[in-house]
Amino acid sequence: MKVDGVAYRSIWRDGNESAVTVVDQTLLPHRFETLRIETVTEAIDAIKRMVVRGAPLIGVTGAYGYAMALAADASDSNVAGAYDALYAARPTAVNLRWALDIVRAAVAGLPEAERAVVAFATADRLHAEDIRTNGTMAANGAALIREIWEAKGRSGPVNILTHCNTGWIACVDWGTALGVVYSAHDAGIPVHVFVDETRPRNQGASLTTWELGSHGVPHTLIADNAGGHLMQHGAVDICLVGADRVTASGDACNKIGTYLKALAAHDNHVPFYVVMPGSTIDWRVDDGVKEIEIEERASDEVTHISGISGDGTIVKVRLAPKGTKAANPAFDVTPARLLTGLVTERGVAKASREGLLGLYPERAS
């Protein structure tokens, strides 16, 4: 995607360097800066501090971090140790485990001297695949937007509500739910996006608005609690969100607050779709509410809010009285029964085991 006319990806490797450059998402929308990552320690730090974030991007960054670890020490013990250290960086997005498993399998049994080269090549492959996958997924989702537009007699824009940030900076390029928005918009379908602010880290207010604005997509920022009201008044045609993990039975774990939006959508008969690549499905997990580990983040993300001061410094301002106890679960699980469907690179499925196996038959066993 373009920033000030220059094409960027959220992460890239220059030539055969044993390092990557990423867009520093902690500074957006105030400053667009990149950060170079040269070691596995730096990769873990970038994932933990959410310099890079979004399930697909966490996966690709993890793959490169793993390759950096093996470039420093390709011994068997480091193949195991670096896997564990990276895996622990953020627990909920399954794309991290997915990517690490692929790199580990690619180097298994190789002489130590070959491991880093193969690990980097594998990470490059995941990088390229992410772009392709998101492009296909976006086109599959755009067909749904077109159907809604046709059903409205091509009058007015299709109003889409989204939560968190699921755009090109959450992936390598394009995005998941926002990829669908870009695809529809680029195809000439008029769209308008209601962007949930997404407390407490405000990925919607800071990142999604920045992305949509850069791409010229009409949008309106709303407080997290406004979605239900808008749906009751017919202002939302469809909800599109991403996911950090989808269970084999179709439950979707995504940014905290997604579940409440799905409840409101269900009550108001607004279609609610999760847009996610196959790498987000955790085939080992069935009941998302009981089985998915939900990341608990620092309480000061809730008691404080970040913004920019008049002199351009990024500051953190206290909202709650000193000493206030705050809980900060970063994700929640929306049961499959509340979802209209799952949009993937292989097509659109019902949110159920049968629906997913229809698209991924190789997983039936």
Q: Under the rule (CB under 6 A), what is the footprint of ligand MRU? A: 53-56, 93, 164, 166, 170-171, 176, 203, 242-244, 254-255, 330
Query: Is 76 annotated in the active site?
Result: no
Work out how close the CB of 124 gets to ligand MRU at its nearest, in angstroms, rounded to a whole number: 20
**Which residue's C-beta sits nearest to ligand MRU?**
242
Work out how close the CB of 108 gets to ligand MRU at its nearest, in angstroms, rounded to a whole number: 28
Q: Is 232 annotated as a binding residue?
A: no
Q: Which is nearer to ligand MRU, 164 or 248 (CB)?
A: 164
Work out how close the CB of 81 gets to ligand MRU at its nearest, in angstroms, rounded to a whole number: 25
CA dihedral 37→38→40→42, nearest 10 degrees, is -40
Q: Which two tokens stand for residue 109?
A: 């049994």
Q: Is 53 annotated as a binding residue?
A: yes
Q: Which is nearer to ligand MRU, 193 or 330 (CB)?
A: 330
Closest CA to 170 of 204, 200, 139: 204
Furthest-apart CA atoms within the chain: distance in Å: 63
Work out how close the CB of 239 gets to ligand MRU at its nearest, in angstroms, rounded to a whole number: 12
Q: Is 31 annotated as a binding residue?
A: no
51 within 8 A of 36, measured Cβ to Cβ: no
Q: Which two tokens stand for residue 195?
A: 């962007």
Closest CA to 331 of 247, 257, 275: 257
Which residue's structure tokens are 């159920």?
352
Catalytic residue among 173, 244, 251, 332: 244
Q: Is 55 annotated as a binding residue?
A: yes
Work out how close the CB of 229 gets to ligand MRU at its nearest, in angstroms, rounded to a whole number: 22
Which residue's structure tokens are 């206290």?
318
Q: Which is nearer to ligand MRU, 58 or 191 (CB)?
A: 58
23 has which bridge partners? 34
Q: Is 54 annotated as a binding residue?
A: yes
Q: Which two tokens stand for residue 56?
A: 């697909």
Give the Cα separation of 102 and 99 in Å (integer).
Answer: 5
Strand order in the sheet with 219-222: 219-222, 191-196, 158-162, 238-241, 272-275, 341-344, 347-349
Strand order in the sheet with 252-255: 281-282, 245-247, 252-255, 331-334
Q: Which two tokens stand for residue 120?
A: 């980097």
Binding residues: 53-55, 90, 203, 254-255
Q: Which residues are catalytic?
A: 244
Binding residues for substrate: 53-55, 90, 203, 254-255
